[in-house]
Amino acid sequence: MSAQAGMEIHVDAGKCLAYGNCVGLAPDHFDLPAGASVVVLLKRTIAADETEDIDEAVRSCPARALSVRPAGS
């Protein structure tokens, strides 16, 4: 599923291996504080001008821990 404005990001903490690729691509949404073993979701919602970066972040996760979903689902 591709990101669209109004959708939400979901992080599967069981899959995340703290690669941190998402942090470089979408720093308003993701953070990986020093020593953290799982990425921190800073912002769940996706704005219209953020869909490209979020899609890139989802595809760039080797652990496939990120997904986007319609809000509230």
Partner 1 sequence: MRRIVIVGASVAGLSAADALREAGFEGSIQVIGAESHTPYDRPPLSKQALAPAAATDAFFPLRPQEHYASHGLDLILGRSAARLDVAKKLVRLDDGESLPYDGLVIATGCRARTLRTSDGDPLPVLRTLGDARWLAAAARQHRHAVLVGAGFIGLEVAASLRKLGLHVTVLESAPIPLKNSLGPELADWLCAYHASCGVRIEAGVEIRAIATANGAYEITLGDGLRLEAGLVLAGIGVEPNTDWLQDSGVSCDGGVLCDASGRTNVPGVVAAGDVANLAAFGSGGVNRIEHWTHAMKQGRAAARNLILEESSEIDVPYFWTDQFERKLQGYGRRQSGDSVRIVEGSLESGNYLALFGVGESFHGILSSGRAKSLRNYRKLLEQGGTWSQALAMASSSSTATGASLAPA
CB of 32 to partner 1, least distance (A): 7
In a 3-state reduction of DSSP, which class is residue 50?
helix
Task: Rank residues 64 and 69 by Cβ distance to partner 1 and give the closer one.
Answer: 64
Q: Which residues pair with 11 in a beta bridge?
A: 66
CA 65 to chain centre: 8
Alpha-carbon span 49 to 56, nearest angstrom = 13
- Site size toward partner 1, by CB under 8 A: 18
In the shown chain, the binding pattern of residues 22 to 41 toward partner 1, with x for contact by CB under 8 A and - for none, equals -xxxxx---xx-xx------
Task: Rank residues 14 and 72 by Cβ distance to partner 1 and give the closer one.
Answer: 14
